[in-house]
Structure 1
Amino acid sequence: MTSINFELSRVSGQPVDDAELLIDLKLVAKMLGASTVSIPKYREYGQYDESTIASRFGSWNEALLTAGLTVSNEVNISDDRLFENILALWQHYGRQPRRSELAKPPSAISQSPYNRRFGSWRAALEAFVEYANAGGTEAPPVLEKGENQPKSGRDPSLRLRWHVLQRDRHLLRLRSKSSYITWC
């Protein structure tokens, strides 16, 4: 005969204390193998409702900090930090940074905060130029072509290559106009 053990379960609607919320937040971070937890990930793996955590600690970011985790999505970034990021990019590339370069290092800030604050990347650059010129920030020297600039690819895309092959009936033209070989 097998013995049945008693188990205590939490009653739905019973208040949860802060320590339980923080423990669950840390468990989800550990399960994900990350130093932070986004709201969608917590919604997927967490035990409690994310709005309970956010309201209990004031915000989701405050809950993460209280749990000893890093902030997943920083909001209300100051103009100075936004402009410092643009300056770092400008110095890194030796030219005006492009919007696409916000997605890769050395950029620490994505394009969303710039769009929220200034309406567009172009407007953010205009505000930066005005800020930098008013503050006496010296522009980095213009680099010669090829210095510290990403190399553009020389290979055509697969789509373009396919269209060229179709156009040429899958024949590769060599140096001589009369000699052709079949492209496999």
Structure 2
Amino acid sequence: MTTHTSNGQRVPTNDLIADIKQTADRVDGPLTKTEYREHGEHTRKTVVNRFGSWNEMKHELGLEISSKTSEGPRLTTDELLADLRATAEKAGSQHRVDNAYYHEVGSYSVSVYKDRFGSWTEAKQAADLPPQHMIPISADGCVDSVRVVAERVDGNLTCAAYDDHRRPIDPSSVTVIDRVGSWTEAKQQAGVE
């Protein structure tokens, strides 16, 4: 059985499992989504698509599940806001922390914020972060961003490489995939090999 990465490459399930376990062995404590994004070979989306959820993957592979989940103590508002602020700081620009970016980089589910605060915008306001003031980006705008970022990346332009090298005004790879249809299609339209 195989699964797909967001750039269209097929990943054998055994390779995915081996990478997850190797990454978990290299970190202190339970493997987080952020640590896997930083140290793993594949996207978190690939893991979730294969296993159903992050914690289902951890359960199936026998990995420790953090106590900061629905199975453990309820997250405090301060913990949620601290993670949102830390993610904004990591992004380098608070305007980039839309729910798609947080979904890829943050420690918790965006739905937790929506449940707790009523909306993503209200969660950002509670964290004293500016609301998103960007005009929704079109598919053509996404393709243009892929083209610009590709010029700054040596080698294959993966989703992770794109997100690492994109400018604050560029959409996240998740947004590109959502608008264009797939990472492979976005690269083809941008004329990127």
Shorter-chain TM-score tier: 0.3 to 0.5
Per the normalisation by structure 2, the TM-score is 0.34
Higher-Rg member (1/2): 1
Higher relative contact order (CA closer than 8 Å, sequence separation 6+)? 2
Larger helix proportion, structure 1 or 2? 2
Per the normalisation by structure 1, the TM-score is 0.35
